[in-house]
Amino acid sequence: MALLHKTQPRSIEERFPELQGLGLTEKQMLSYSRFRWWRVVAMAAVWYSFYYLGRLNWGFCLPWIIKDLGITKLQAGMGATAILWAYALGVFLSGRLADKYGARVMDTVGGLGTTVMNLIVASLSSLNAILGALFLNGFVQGQAYASTNGMISQWFPKAKRGEATGVYASSMGISTLVVWLITGYFATHYGWRAAFTYPLLLCTLPATIVLFFVVRSKPQDAGFPAYRETMRESISAQAERYTDEQTRGVRAWKLLFGNWKFTSYAVASFLLYIGRYGLLTWIPLYYAETSGIKLDKIPAATVALPLGMMVGPMVAGYVSDTFFHAKRFQVLNIYMSCFIAVMLTMGHFGVKQIGVPASAVLLVLGGFFVLGAIGDLFTAACDFGGRKMAATAVGCIDLFNYLGAGLQGVLIGALLQYTHNDWPLVFYVLSGSTAVGLLLVNLVRE
């Protein structure tokens, strides 16, 4: 009977405590909930699932690009660095702009801009010109992620934010799978230049147009009142107590970086992103050089990585909200520790040694744990920023993220070039950077 009692539907007050006292009827509360899940979170996740077609294509297409342009691994790594460091600058600035002008505007700029820049990259042959265009594309790509997290924070209080941002963060994994499938199809059948053209025109551009007409940056734009923050002693509630004057312009950045806990999480995320992009950038080339698999089979052989990334953040967000009362560091402990173990295993056992199926399992686990931890760190950033500065906070952490992501491009490219392709050492570097980040997480404990 006790079990039966627990499965009874909760009352409307229990389901939506953040909407109590706002003068909404039960029907309006349900409408509010449907809007924020379907027209904000789901729409943003679908759109972002196509957004990476304009950024991850460089790393995915490296085997074809190196062969076509005759460039070295170090030069290929420079291309990855150009994209990612420009993205770091773009996301840092766009987070602040999104808190002022709204995610709907910034996301649209990002979607349209990356389509144009990829068409330009596809038309170039000079390496220097390509690197310049990649840098501009990275900056444009940086307009979206912090902005959208800020939008979700406008619709969800801290107690429910982990699940919502986790669903959205899973779109990073879904988008990686989309790149593996769609970019992989065009690269293997029509060449890398086609992979920089048709996916953007057929997927990213139409999705951006739909997004503009469907989403709304905050509840007030859709005719709803703003929610009440229910966790009144949380870091989110503390952030909301700042006045508009205190958070104006660059003062918001000063407030965030003046908090040692926030800065520690930013550095931990920097270190974790070396692991994430170390996999995304180099796994196709790793398989091409060590597995004995033909180039046209690489997409199918490495698709396990984005499959794991699809699920990791969603599970992490749910576990964080449901079992740890919106505390993020417990999930970070679990996920980062497991990612370290997976990287050490991949470093010790090569693809040929354990076989493609077992290697695929490791890729699934690696993607699951690294992106799950990253999704949880983004949610923590939203918590630190609250509604007033959520996009700014995510932009700050993402600045660190993509400095790390860009560093791995040059670091691993040089490592491979000067050690004559010592791939096990690459995985040991990825595990070591994550281990240092894990130490910082345990100092913060938020």
The pLDDT of residue 243: 85
pLDDT computed for residue 177 by the predictor: 85
Global confidence as pTM: 0.86
How many C-beta neighbours within 10 Å does residue 11 have? 9
Q: Is 272 or 355 the better-scoring residue by pLDDT?
A: 272
Question: What burial letters (b/e) apply to 97-116, b meaning 16+ CB within 10 Å?
Answer: bbbeebbbbbbbbbbbbbbe
CATH number of the domain residue 265 falls in: 1.20.1250.20
Lowest mean pLDDT among 150-159, 258-267, 343-352: 343-352
Determine, yes or no, domain membership for 310.
yes
Any domain includes 6: no
Count of domains in the chain?
1
- State mean pLDDT over 215-233: 92
271: left (phi over 0), alpha (psi -120 to 50) or beta: alpha
Q: What is the pLDDT of residues 309-326, one digit of tens each?
A: 889 999 999 999 889 888
The answer to whether residue 19 sits within a structural domain is no
Do the Cβ atoms of 314 and 170 come closer than 8 Å? yes
Round the average pLDDT of the chain to a whole number and report it.
90
Residue 227 within any structural domain of the chain: no
Arithmetic mean of pLDDT, 97-121? 95
Which stretch of 97-101, 225-229, 408-412 has the lowest confidence by average pLDDT? 408-412
Joined tokens for residue 214: 């469907």
Residue 228 lies in a domain: no
- pLDDT value at position 355? 82
Question: Contact at 8 Å (CB) between 154 and 32?
Answer: no
**Confidence at 1, pLDDT banded by 50, 70, 90:** very low
Quick check: is 288 in a domain? yes
**Domain of 300, in residue numbers:** 36-218+253-444
Residue 361 lies in a domain: yes
Considering the domain boundaries, does residue 373 fall inside one?
Answer: yes
Per the model's pLDDT, the better-predicted residue between 409 and 53 turns out to be 53
What's the whole-number mean pLDDT along residues 262-266?
96
Alpha carbons 58 and 15: distance in angstroms, whole number: 44
How many other C-beta atoms lie within 10 A of the C-beta of residue 336? 29
**Percent of residues, the chain, with pLDDT higher than 70:** 98
